[in-house]
């Protein structure tokens, strides 16, 4: 955690933000930092899905979508052309689609 805090502090120093300690480094803290540092530069949904935090964080922080999302929204349907392109094995659709 000390190394993570040191790396985060390099970025925070550039932005004149208060340094953090190793005890403050959590996944939520890193995701919050990424949202500030990479605002409009990353595909945040993929980062949150990869870390397993998309559903909970969207419910908590997105005042519009958070009210209507369901766990089904964590996956997309597999396009039919992709399913049809698998000639050697049957490919099933994602559950719920």
Mean of the pLDDT values across residues 16-45? 92
The pTM (predicted TM-score) of the whole model is: 0.72
Reduced DSSP (H G I as helix, E B as strand, rest coil) percent helix, strand, coil of the chain, to 5: 55, 0, 45
In a domain, 91, yes or no: yes
Residue 30 pLDDT: 94
Mark whether 57 and 82 lie in a shared domain: yes
In a domain, 48, yes or no: no
Rg (CA), the chain: 19
What domain range is 10 assigned to? 1-42
* pLDDT digit string, tens, across residues 43-84: 889 999 999 999 999 999 999 999 999 999 999 999 999 999
Higher pLDDT, 54 or 97: 54
């Amino acid at each position: 955690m000390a190394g993570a805090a040191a790396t985060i502090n390099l970025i925070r120093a550039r932005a004149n933000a208060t340094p953090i300690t190793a005890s403050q480094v959590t996944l939520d803290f890193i995701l919050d930092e990424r949202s500030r540092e990479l605002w409009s530069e990353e595909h945040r949904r993929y980062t949150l899905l990869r870390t397993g935090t998309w559903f909970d964080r969207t419910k908590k922080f997105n005042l519009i979508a958070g009210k209507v999302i369901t766990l089904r929204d964590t996956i997309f349907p597999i396009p039919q052309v992709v399913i049809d392109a698998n000639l050697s094995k049957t490919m099933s659709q994602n559950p719920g689609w």
